[in-house]
Structure 1
Amino acid sequence: MIDVMQPGLEQGNLLVTFGIVGVLILISEKYRVLDRLGVYAAAALGIIVGALGHWTWLVILLGFLGTAHKATKWRFDEKAAKGLSESSDGHRSWGNVVANGGLPGLVAIIAFILDDHKNGLWLFSAAVSVAAADTFASEIGCLDERVRMITTMKKCEPGLNGGFSPNGQIAALVGSTIIATLAFVSEANLELAALVAVIGWLGCQVDSVLGAVLENRGLMTKGTVNAAAITFGIITMWWHLGFPHL
């Protein structure tokens, strides 16, 4: 019997991984979740995450992709009219895939090399949680007029780097909690799952601070800010786990 629960380059894991990636491609093409290059990038990332990590990690990543797409399409016409959307129809590009999935993919590679999928799951989940929290905060919070700059607490325009709103903060926690729930389903550890949710929300705050202090001054780009916030999430979880392999 094929064992689908063994991680890494095992037959069962590979079969499920490639099946999920195939479904991802079909759904992305049908519902225009990603542009063409975005689909290719997501497929490559999915194979790396699933084959080197585990197919349940891929489910976590797809949970982020699907819910992020829903958040993007939420009141999309209003966001587009205000110039707050990144594309004309709500799809995401390969750049978004790399910015949000590159570091989680790197975690999967390192987990495979070190043969430590147990810790790898939680490092991976923390990384995706930060990406989810930031995406939800941006997509939901941008329509909340009660925006303040995170470094000064002064009122500012919606969509400005470093701005935060009550709705955005709630949305960030919802996004990180979705990822934490999927991680808990993968491995029933309530403490670490709760930490994934908290780290995601905190990472969103780090993203806002870096956006206000550095991105608005042209010292960082949106992509590097995202990467720095996700790195914060990975390091925070690594610290909690006791810095394994250091």
Structure 2
Amino acid sequence: MAGGGDKVDYVFKVVLIGDSAVGKSQILARFARNEFSLDSKATIGVEFQTRTLVIEHKSVKAQIWDTAGQERQVPSLSAFRRSDHGGYRAVTSAYYRGALGALLVYDITKRQSFDHIPRWLDELRGHADKNIVIMLVGNKSDLEEERAVSTEDAKEFAEKENLFFLETSALQATNVENAFQTVLTEIFKIHSKKNMAADPKANGAAPSLAGKKVLVPGPAQEIPKSKCCSSM
């Protein structure tokens, strides 16, 4: 982690989305402060935390946004596109504006939270930048005995939608760091590629994604399959 007085080279906004109570705030707390609270209360409104990391010798400040799943519930495309839901659209647009990455979170013990993922993904793609880096996250992997969503189902969905994929446990701090690092590194590669295209004489190695789509099929190349889908 970079020191507080260090120069920041990049600021990347990443949003957390998904149903209420899937553990978005706990994932954020684990990544930003390495904390976990068993009596965590539901998020009210929108909050964000920051953490500065070093990626390929550059200082990158991650600005992670979390929103109240209970307030917004599961998005209905027909609802937020109607003119009488302008307030909802305004809040949603502001939340996604400028986001370069997203963690799309479900609870592996709640099938419904996974079944709602396509609608969250539709909302995300309807409001965010087309090149946004998306990681599908199955949280609470420590509750293997209560699993309601198989790793194979999630992996298949991620591959179909060209998403990165990991299962995490905010409680045990399993793969939380890996999830954010993967998304932030991918964003960094995309911006490095853009900078290289804008200035061919720029120093540094060409990004590994040259000539490839921005969103690569999951599981991500950076994540070995054994890590991607192992039981925590």
Give the shorter-chain TM-score range.
0.3 to 0.5
Q: TM-score if structure 1 supplies the norm length?
A: 0.32
Which structure: greater helix fraction? 1
Which structure: greater strand fraction? 2
Q: TM-score if structure 2 supplies the norm length?
A: 0.34
